[in-house]
């Protein structure tokens, strides 16, 4: 099934969405918000699935679903932790800031605690006080939402706690990262509010594309209308989502509604960095990566970071070319 949160109050109004994203029906009487549904998932999920079946069959008529009228599925969450499962990306970004990557990164997941109190809607602008020096970048990723996860869960058992899947634009301020990481406490100001896809879906809605804790489909990003990346999310993902959830839960339990991200999706090409889409490659899921390739090739980057007015669209399509999660579509604005 597919779920979304229509704009309403701070936490939205939970709606069940049809597979083709054309219709929706409010989850009245089941749960008012997605967090409420997740707080009691064992009871609410079957009811939501039954309502979804009725919407699909036409037993419930529903209303038109409007991707511009929704918040992120969890408009605010109690936890957002982002992994870096595509170690290829980590290696490139580190190179770009002249930082070495320890070998252990291939065996021990990297993860940071993100701010989860003020997510952007999927179609909301990315409002920043300045672009100069901030190095505004998008990061196209996949994220999962868990139910309650006990401390010390195994990677295998963690897979069973993954209840919903969605896309995320993990906005990053590349200009602020080196100084902030040098302080030693991780990201803070360099990771402003993230935006998630209009719709989140249960793993079964992905069919065979969800396998072994990975989504085996390309993640498509368009920058200012041009295809920027379409890497396969199931390829080069060193740590599957079961492993990432278990990493997060090593020393504390995770509350229902915890969001765990994959990190920027990135594919290698012949063991090295990939090529831009216009050169026949699968491209990239963030600007920092192409700038690194440019630096390797030309001695300096030529693709600028996002400026005011620049637009990023992130989407994923099923085997029939239909949008699964709806589209993240954001423009950078001064404010």
- 22-30, 52-60, 159-167, 186-194 -> range binding a second copy (CB under 8 A): 186-194
State how far the Cα of 192 lies from the Cα of 14, in Å rounded to an integer. Answer: 25
State how far the Cα of 78 lies from the Cα of 332, in Å rounded to an integer. Answer: 26
108 binds a second copy (CB under 8 A): yes
State how far the Cα of 166 lies from the Cα of 5, in Å rounded to an integer. Answer: 13
332 binds a second copy (CB under 8 A): no
Q: How many residues does this entry show for the chain? A: 335
Choosing from 54, 95, 105, 331, the residue that interacts with a second copy (CB under 8 A) is 105
- Pick between residue 50 and residue 151 the one whose CB is nearest to a second copy: 151
266 binds a second copy (CB under 8 A): no
79 binds a second copy (CB under 8 A): yes
Choosing from 193, 197, 221, 327, the residue that interacts with a second copy (CB under 8 A) is 193
> At 44, is the secondary structure helix, strand, or coil?
helix
State how far the Cα of 331 lies from the Cα of 73, in Å rounded to an integer. Answer: 20
CB 196 to a second copy: min, Å: 15
187 binds a second copy (CB under 8 A): yes
- What are the two backbone dihedrals, phi and then psi, of residue 142, each rounded to the nearest 5 degrees? -110, 145
CB 141 to a second copy: min, Å: 15
236 binds a second copy (CB under 8 A): no
112 binds a second copy (CB under 8 A): yes
CB 242 to a second copy: min, Å: 17
Site map (CB under 8 A) of a second copy, residues 26-55, x = contact:
-------------x----------------
Burial class (CB within 10 angstroms; exposed 0-12, middle 13-18, buried 19+) of 208 = exposed
- Pick between residue 152 and residue 272 the one whose CB is nearest to a second copy: 152
323: left (phi over 0), alpha (psi -120 to 50) or beta: beta
333 binds a second copy (CB under 8 A): no
How big is the CA angle at 111 (ends 105 and 114), to the nearest 5 degrees?
Answer: 155
| β-pair type (272-273, 70-71) | unpaired
In the structure encoding, which two tokens stand for residue 176, read together?
Answer: 């602020």
- Pick between residue 58 and residue 152 the one whose CB is nearest to a second copy: 152
98 binds a second copy (CB under 8 A): no
DSSP string covering 87-113, please?
HHHHHHHHHHTT----GGGGTS--EEE
114 binds a second copy (CB under 8 A): yes
CB 257 to a second copy: min, Å: 7
CB within 8 A of 156, min separation 6: which ones? 242
Give contact residues for a second copy (rule: CB under 8 A).
Answer: 10, 39, 76-79, 81, 84, 99, 102, 104-105, 108, 110-118, 127-129, 151-152, 173, 176, 181-190, 192-193, 247-248, 250-255, 257-258, 335
């Amino acid at each position: 099934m597919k779920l979304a949160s229509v704009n309403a109050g701070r936490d939205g109004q939970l709606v069940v969405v049809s597979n083709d994203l054309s219709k929706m029906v409010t989850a009245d009487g089941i749960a008012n918000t997605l967090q409420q549904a997740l707080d009691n998932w064992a009871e609410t999920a079957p009811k939501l699935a039954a309502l979804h079946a009725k919407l699909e069959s036409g037993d419930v008529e529903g209303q038109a679903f409007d991707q511009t009228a929704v918040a992120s599925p969890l408009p605010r969450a109690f936890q957002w932790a982002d992994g870096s499962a595509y170690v290829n990306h980590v290696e490139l970004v580190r190179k770009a800031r002249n930082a070495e990557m320890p070998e252990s990164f291939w065996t021990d997941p990297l993860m940071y605690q993100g701010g989860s109190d003020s997510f952007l809607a999927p179609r909301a602008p990315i409002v920043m006080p300045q672009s100069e020096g901030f190095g505004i970048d998008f990061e196209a990723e996949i994220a999962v939402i868990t139910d309650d996860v006990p401390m010390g869960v195994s990677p295998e058992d963690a897979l069973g706690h993954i209840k919903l899947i969605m896309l995320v634009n993990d906005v990053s301020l590349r200009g602020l990262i080196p100084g902030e990481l040098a302080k030693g406490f991780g990201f803070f100001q360099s990771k402003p509010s993230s935006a998630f896809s209009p719709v989140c879906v249960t793993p079964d809605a992905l069919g065979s594309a969800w396998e072994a804790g990975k989504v085996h489909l390309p993640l498509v990003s368009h920058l200012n209308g041009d295809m920027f990346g379409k890497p396969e999310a199931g390829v080069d993902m060193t740590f599957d989502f079961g492993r990432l959830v278990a990493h997060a839960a090593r020393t504390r339990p995770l509350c229902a509604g915890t969001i765990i991200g994959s990190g920027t999706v990135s594919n290698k090409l012949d063991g090295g960095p990939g090529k831009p889409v216009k050169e026949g490659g699968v491209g990239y899921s963030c600007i920092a990566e192409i700038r690194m390739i440019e630096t390797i090739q030309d001695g300096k980057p030529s693709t600028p970071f996002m400026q005011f007015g620049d637009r990023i669209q992130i989407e994923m399509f099923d085997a029939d070319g239909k949008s699964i999660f709806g589209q993240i579509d954001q423009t950078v604005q001064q404010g």
